[in-house]
Amino acid sequence: MQTSEQKIEQRFTHLAQQWEHNTAHLSSMTKKVVDPAYQSIIDMGADVLPILFRELKKSPNWWFWALREITETDPTSPEDAGNLHKMTNAWLKWAEENDYL
């Protein structure tokens, strides 16, 4: 029998794969984040944060919109907007400071 954490991880993995498949051809981040699979990940709420941070640490991707929506914060600097490396580092630092990693 699966634990609730395993179910959350499984659902996230399915939705993340679906999102990447649905949006791989898009260059617009706005269009990517309004994708139903991405929105479903946001709807998972705080339960998905540890998974998002592990994914971000393992393979940086554009999870920043989801992280902002779920946490209602943004640790990135405006001058770093669009810089995947710097935005990832800012979020991972925030995750460590808030005991998500």
pLDDT at position 39 over 90: yes
Predicted local distance difference test score (pLDDT) of residue 67: 97
Contacts of residue 67, Cβ cutoff 8 Å, sequence gap at least 6:
49, 52, 91
Mean pLDDT confidence for 72-94: 95
Mean pLDDT confidence for 48-76: 94
Mean pLDDT confidence for 71-89: 94
Angle at which helix 84-97 crosses helix 49-58, to 10 degrees, equals 140
Mean pLDDT for the chain overall? 93
Q: Which of 55, 53, 69, 64 is nearest to 86 (CA)?
A: 64
Predicted local distance difference test score (pLDDT) of residue 26: 83
Q: Report pLDDT digits (tens) over 24-38.
A: 888 888 898 999 999
Contacts of residue 70, Cβ cutoff 8 Å, sequence gap at least 6:
42, 45, 46, 48, 49, 52
